[in-house]
Structure 1
């Protein structure tokens, strides 16, 4: 038998029997040095035989007898005493091992494993192969809601188990280089999580559009064609990130948005004659961050009011630039998920229910595909989703648990604070630091842990470290793993695909394990990759379709909105505000028109910004009314023009 596996005539009783001084059965060697965390074991391979040395392997566990207790140690390194090997000689070799804990007898006669050590090995203590029963005790947490996610690398007959509530309540991370099986492992973990917690709802931020294929029976997919995330759900910083295309906002334009958006929200809530409702909304403290609907036409009306329609246009380039940005965003087909809705309405309840699967319907997972969203606004979308996830957990009072899984998390919370988008970083950090109180969990997946904000990573109490070749990434893992088992990271660059070193709250002790392989129909894969219809030569190439998608010809039709906007602008400059008409039918289809209360001179004396053009209109009107302006007279005196 080698390392707990039966070979030849070995049986379970042979495997667990300890013949103290019989080399090759269970006896391996004796302790020759020991400190608080490590031991050195001396062993001998007689006559150049390697049978005994095959029982030692870096990363395996061994036992050391100390009275009635058995101290468990992890093999960290091996070497011969002379740095040479004699083919027919007795070769002495030394094994360095780290102390992991001990198996001891309880008062009632039950044996348990403890991570602490009550009696340290003495010089000459016998080291032997670990019993299979002890391996089971070590890696069995003994807690309810534990589930198997694979098997131990040391003994494939023993299941590798995790405690799902501990993994979710204190967050988790899956780290590994490209191609080592991260996505498959994450899919397995998510399946185990939703099976263990019926209240759990999972939101996957999927930048590669690959997780939808992994959950055909448990997930709904939201992509650029089905995404509806209205602009009015965004906070001011998020909306500015979209309007300014990921660049820093101009301070003057940003200030105008902060002042104008609340006015647009009051107009939407107040309607034509809703003065009382408007006053209630003002008392409620509407701000630019309050998630209530408003019309883009009302926002543009506010900007036009500040620009002025009769004079001084050239004096306000910042306002005109802001108006141009808003119209450009409305006309950009890539932003149709924000502006495509023809009529603005309060659909927050329906949107939250759809994205976070609040009604369940047997599909608790949402695969939110980000690949088709413009790169300059992905961070803003991620910020909205993470912020809403925390709010749902906070205000549902435990009725629903939410898990936000961030694939390629270093994009959203990079180590360099100057990079990324601050609201996204703050939203994810809030989940990491406070989410456990409200049932909101965070899952971090990345191939470059060194580029991830270490504050976020430190909040993940369970880590699955897969193969990592980069030395900086390995150092990050070493800093996170318990000191007593730091040698488990020494072979991170050499473990196989699908293997991982799991450590943290969800496992009893750090373990090297191999994830269960998923069937092909449950493996993550990019959209259309591996689907039926592929041939050995691939799909027929349709260049027209490629070009059409690049140009996003299915853009939102805002022609009606533009025509009404221009018509109302012309009407506002050609009539005194007191007799300004309102086309009530203009909002029957397409984008809604201005709210009349937002147009210049339409009865907003409370506006703190004033209305100088309306004052000029009214002065002109009073002059007309106070002058003899019969059919033969013109305003301002003089005689009528003949002919």
Structure 2
């Protein structure tokens, strides 16, 4: 490699941009902080290869500027001067070359204007002109990164500090992030729940009249949003059974498989339509189908089933009706299903239910936390399906009204949109996949949170325009995220297994360029109830075990789950 140019040559180069003496003085100051670390050796579309001097990189490790000290390392940024602009690139891979040289692959991120003093401003994503082989590669300073990550006037929320700096703020742009969906990924124990709470709190603070619905399968988030949201669980959800469409009715009421299931479904469809229309002026509703959310009595449905069964001549033909009748009686009698199948839920409360769930209006409490941890496991997916479909169908049927976009956040998303297409719970899978594909047309945003992205249905993750990935320990999960992230973020992906707790890689529509961010600390009262227990500390405590067991058994038996 050619001998490194001396400092004066940098001064002369930068000073040539202006004949003004003051500008030249500033240029000398700027040049003193510039560090040439190598040169471009190959250009190829979105990325290229550079050659760096290992001795120069080593000499920068103790630099006072942490960004300069990181120069040349995987995941760091470097810059090149091209036609009066600074071109910023991310280092993706590194390997040893000859004579102490280091060869690195880089991905171009964007470019910013270069002023007469060598400073950068007006950074923007994308590249208009590429460097040529032989172009000098320079270290990026913290001041450069400040220009790169400076949030513009678009609505945004600050979530933490950009690595490796101490004071540059990492921002998420709300409109691009929500309009094209987002995913938050991370293995158990990485601080994912706290980070999700932080992001939703910041969005709620920015938009206190917003509309957010969160599906919480473990009951973690109620503690985090008790002061700024509405909390729903089996005690107060009051989800009317008649809001279910026909497919959801089948998942709850049918117990057979194969050809028998199809026969049972045909019978249920006929009886359900009769129950929805019984005693009503059908013309007021227009076209009524088995999917129409029209209130009906479970007693009416049961009576219609019994009546149809009585018309049959052969006893063997009554089996499907008997199965349906038995299931209906079970749903009405089982106290676990009271939140959904209570006889008190037959009145037409659809408008009030939607207003309460979607926060219309929000009155400064823009988020609904729906805790489904107390829902019987066999119908949890149906409950989530109904809630998600209500969000989507409301958006469709309110198209002619003033728009009220809704954000649907789904924790443990791999449970509801699994890769296995042959499993049960197809209704929730279909609606979440449809929201992922079509939701942005109607003002519905989807936020997916999962610790196992490799178990998500293929294509769903790729529909998320913004991906926020915390540490992932599983190779399959890492490969899945690598496939979903844009090319410019590839250099950051290698850092995913090495991320510390409450650190993330954010890329896509919601950020200016891919960034590594250390999340802010969240106030204790805003944290979810997801902290890991300290075995060493708790195992030192003793006393009162008899009372603990008695109270636990009482709650256990009373809940009946």
Same fold (TM over 0.5): yes
Q: Confirm whether residue 508 of structure 1 aligns to residue 512 of structure 2.
A: yes
SS of the residue corresponding to residue 417 of structure 1 reads coil
C-alpha distance in 1, partners of 2:151/2:484? 21
SS of the residue corresponding to residue 200 of structure 1 reads coil
Alignment TM-score, normalising by the size of structure 1: 0.74
Query: Which piece of structure 1 moves more, 299-308 or 377-386?
Result: 299-308
Which residues in structure 2 correspond to 1:13-32 (within 5 Å)?
17-19=30-32, 26-31=34-39
Query: Which piece of structure 1 moves more, 206-215 or 416-425?
Result: 416-425
C-alpha distance in 1, partners of 2:368/2:57? 63
Of 304, 307, 317, the residue aligned with 2:306 is 304
Which residues in structure 2 correspond to 1:471-620 (within 5 Å)?
471-525=475-529, 536-537=541-542, 541-552=547-558
SS of the residue corresponding to residue 73 of structure 1 reads strand
Cα RMSD (Å) of the superposition? 3.2
Q: Which structure has the higher relative contact order (CA within 8 Å, separation 6+)?
A: 2
C-alpha distance in 2, partners of 1:467/1:554? 37
SS of the residue corresponding to residue 235 of structure 2 reads coil
Matched residue, 2:92:
76
SS of the residue corresponding to residue 205 of structure 1 reads strand
Matched residue, 1:176:
186
SS of the residue corresponding to residue 353 of structure 1 reads helix
Alpha carbons of structure 1 residues 500 and 74: separation in structure 2 relative to 1, 3 Å:
same
Q: Confirm whether residue 428 of structure 1 aligns to residue 426 of structure 2.
A: no
Please give the per-residue CA displacement for 1:13-72, whole angstroms capped at 9, x wherever unaligned: 9997224xxxxx532422151222122232142899674795433211122234533222
Alpha carbons of structure 1 residues 178 and 538: separation in structure 2 relative to 1, 3 Å:
farther
C-alpha distance in 2, partners of 1:510/1:528? 30
Alpha carbons of structure 1 residues 521 and 243: separation in structure 2 relative to 1, 3 Å:
same
C-alpha distance in 2, partners of 1:353/1:222? 14
Matched residue, 1:101:
110
Task: Quote how far apart the aligned CAs of 1:440 are.
Answer: 1.2
Query: Which piece of structure 1 moves more, 307-316 or 173-182?
Result: 307-316
Instruction: Name the larger-Rg structure.
Output: 1
Task: Quote how far apart the aligned CAs of 1:387 are.
Answer: 0.7
Matched residue, 2:161:
151
Alpha carbons of structure 1 residues 381 and 414: separation in structure 2 relative to 1, 3 Å:
same
Query: Which piece of structure 1 moves more, 357-366 or 307-316?
Result: 307-316
C-alpha distance in 2, partners of 1:285/1:553? 41
Matched residue, 1:566:
none
C-alpha distance in 2, partners of 1:94/1:177? 32
Task: Quote how far apart the aligned CAs of 1:327 are.
Answer: 0.7
Gaps of 5+ in 1: 1-12, 20-24, 83-89, 270-276, 556-643
CA contact (8 A) 1:151 1:515 kept: yes
SS of the residue corresponding to residue 75 of structure 1 reads strand
Of 333, 336, 354, the residue aligned with 1:334 is 336
SS of the residue corresponding to residue 493 of structure 1 reads helix
CA contact (8 A) 1:207 1:369 kept: yes
SS of the residue corresponding to residue 346 of structure 2 reads coil
Q: Confirm whether residue 58 of structure 1 aligns to residue 82 of structure 2.
A: no
Alpha carbons of structure 1 residues 177 and 16: separation in structure 2 relative to 1, 3 Å:
farther
Task: Quote how far apart the aligned CAs of 1:427 are.
Answer: 1.4
C-alpha distance in 2, partners of 1:230/1:460? 31
Matched residue, 2:20:
none
C-alpha distance in 2, partners of 1:482/1:47? 28
Of 229, 232, 236, the residue aligned with 2:246 is 236
SS of the residue corresponding to residue 209 of structure 1 reads coil
C-alpha distance in 1, partners of 2:352/2:303? 29
Task: Quote how far apart the aligned CAs of 1:94 are.
Answer: 4.3
C-alpha distance in 1, partners of 2:256/2:375? 13
Task: Quote how far apart the aligned CAs of 1:492 are.
Answer: 1.0
Please give the per-residue CA displacement for 1:142-185, whole angstroms capped at 9, x wherever unaligned: 24212211110121211111211111111111011111111111
CA contact (8 A) 1:30 1:123 kept: no
Task: Quote how far apart the aligned CAs of 1:368 are.
Answer: 0.5
Task: Quote how far apart the aligned CAs of 1:198 are.
Answer: 4.5
Matched residue, 2:21:
none
Alpha carbons of structure 1 residues 539 and 96: separation in structure 2 relative to 1, 3 Å:
farther
CA contact (8 A) 1:222 1:366 kept: yes
Alpha carbons of structure 1 residues 549 and 469: separation in structure 2 relative to 1, 3 Å:
same
Task: Quote how far apart the aligned CAs of 1:205 are.
Answer: 0.6
Please give the per-residue CA displacement for 1:219-238, whole angstroms capped at 9, x wherever unaligned: 11111122211211111211
Task: Quote how far apart the aligned CAs of 1:319 are.
Answer: 1.2
C-alpha distance in 2, partners of 1:401/1:538? 52
CA contact (8 A) 1:206 1:368 kept: yes
CA contact (8 A) 2:488 2:514 kept: no
Which residues in structure 2 correspond to 1:80-91 (within 5 Å)?
80-81=96-97, 91=100
Gaps of 5+ in 2: 1-25, 64-68
CA contact (8 A) 2:160 2:520 kept: yes
SS of the residue corresponding to residue 35 of structure 1 reads strand
C-alpha distance in 2, partners of 1:553/1:46? 67
Matched residue, 1:262:
273
C-alpha distance in 1, partners of 2:518/2:49? 27
Alpha carbons of structure 1 residues 445 and 48: separation in structure 2 relative to 1, 3 Å:
closer
Task: Quote how far apart the aligned CAs of 1:446 are.
Answer: 0.6
SS of the residue corresponding to residue 284 of structure 1 reads coil
C-alpha distance in 2, partners of 1:518/1:145? 21
Task: Quote how far apart the aligned CAs of 1:214 are.
Answer: 0.9
Matched residue, 1:462:
466
Of 444, 447, 451, the residue aligned with 1:447 is 451
Matched residue, 1:403:
407
CA contact (8 A) 1:106 1:112 kept: no
CA contact (8 A) 1:42 1:94 kept: yes
Alpha carbons of structure 1 residues 429 and 539: separation in structure 2 relative to 1, 3 Å:
farther
SS of the residue corresponding to residue 213 of structure 1 reads coil
C-alpha distance in 1, partners of 2:257/2:556? 23
SS of the residue corresponding to residue 127 of structure 1 reads strand
Alpha carbons of structure 1 residues 46 and 313: separation in structure 2 relative to 1, 3 Å:
closer
Which residues in structure 2 correspond to 1:33-432 (within 5 Å)?
33-36=41-44, 37-45=47-55, 51=61, 55-56=70-71, 57-66=73-82, 68-81=84-97, 91-105=100-114, 111-244=121-254, 250-269=261-280, 277=281, 280=283, 284-308=286-310, 312-313=314-315, 315-342=317-344, 344-396=346-398, 397-432=401-436
SS of the residue corresponding to residue 432 of structure 2 reads helix
C-alpha distance in 2, partners of 1:78/1:321? 65
